[in-house]
Amino acid sequence: MTIGVDLGGTKIKAGIEKNGSIIHQNTIFLRQKESLSATLSQLIDLIKPLTHYPATGIGIGVPSVVDTERGIVYNVANIPSWEKVALRDILEEEFNLPVFVNNDVNCFTLGEHRFGVAKDFDSVVGMTIGTGLGSGIIIDNQLYTGHNCGAGEIGMLPYRDHNFEYYACSNFFDGIHGTSALEASHAAVAGDKQALGLWSEFGVHLGCAIKAVMYVFDPEAIILGGSIAKAYPLFKAGMLEALNDFAYPQSLKRLKIMQSQDDTISLLGAAALVSQEVKVKV
């Protein structure tokens, strides 16, 4: 058994992984995010009940750049007090268990590769679509993080007058079009033509980001996760339309694009960081 933790900007999830499933899960909403001590206390209180299980270690995914060797996280998204936190040392001292820290999208991708829809592929890119657009990379069955745990930031690549993230995450709806992805999905399901057009346009932007992934990594599979990926049927056609001009059509025919099916997959991926079988390429 291992403990997996998914630290987000608004809430934290933690669970026990056993035989590829989460058997017990706790969730809390973050309070006093401007206070490092308060947020760390919440995190510790969330994990503590899970240490009553015979866990062999703790893996944690955070939305930030991570020094994976020292377990230090920097400038965690939407938690202003977490500018530089020696998270591994803090949690190892608290729980007397080995702790492994990595980026949250890397954990999502690792979870899909070890336990989810990507487990039959050797090379995978996971893309989470929500508040931002994040990516994680598996090459030859190993998680690739880059030298500074910054590999896979496809969303930061220049695109049009901004970058891919500007057009292919929640900002497309609330920042550009003055609505929300949830409102747009309800309207589209009800047959609203304007909303359907928005989703088609969103799909085109995401498709362009996927082309960038293909040109750089040429993976066997791309797995889409995150809150907006749940609307996959609404943007799929626009996404595929954008892929039509990909320069290598035979490569595109072999590519599998799939939607994540497991809401606990990021916890499973974080827990998998503990496994001695996981070797992180840099």
Give per-residue pLDDT as tens, 109-161: 999 999 999 999 999 999 999 989 999 999 999 999 998 888 999 999 999 99
Looking at residue 265, its pLDDT comes to 97
Contact between residue 107 and residue 269 where contact means Cβ atoms under 8 Å apart: yes
Q: Rounded to whole angstroms, how far apart are CA atoms 61 and 129?
A: 16
For range 97-119, the mean pLDDT = 96
- Delimit the domains of the chain by residue range: 2-104, 117-259
Looking at residue 276, its pLDDT comes to 54
* The CATH classification of domain 2-104, taken from the options 3.90.1720.10, 3.40.366.10, 3.30.420.40, 3.30.565.10: 3.30.420.40
What percent of the chain shows pLDDT beyond 90?
91
Same fold, 2-104 and 117-259: yes
User: Which among 279, 278, 280, 273 is positioned nearest to 62, based on CA atoms?
Assistant: 273
Give 77's pLDDT tier (boundaries 50, 70, 90): confident
Looking at residue 279, its pLDDT comes to 47
Any idea which residue has 């934290």 for tokens? 12
Terminal C-alpha separation, the chain: 27
Looking at residue 278, its pLDDT comes to 42
Looking at residue 137, its pLDDT comes to 97
CATH architecture of 117-259: 2-Layer Sandwich (3.30)
Residue 54 is encoded by which pair of tokens? Answer: 């015979």
Looking at residue 148, its pLDDT comes to 85
Give 44's pLDDT tier (boundaries 50, 70, 90): very high
* Alpha-helix residue ranges (DSSP H) falling in the chain: 36-47, 87-95, 104-115, 164-167, 171, 181-189, 193-217, 232-243, 249-254, 265-272
Q: Give the residue with greater pLDDT, 41 vs 10.
A: 41
Q: What angle do CA 104, 109, 112 make, to 5 degrees?
A: 125
For range 167-190, the mean pLDDT = 97
Element of type H or E holding 58: strand 58-62
Residue 15 is encoded by which pair of tokens? Answer: 């669970």
Task: Judge whether residue 103 has pLDDT over 50.
Answer: yes
Looking at residue 49, its pLDDT comes to 95
Q: Alpha carbon of 279 to those of 7, 47, 275, 282: distances in Å?
A: 22, 25, 9, 10
Looking at residue 9, its pLDDT comes to 83
- Indicate the pTM of the whole model: 0.93
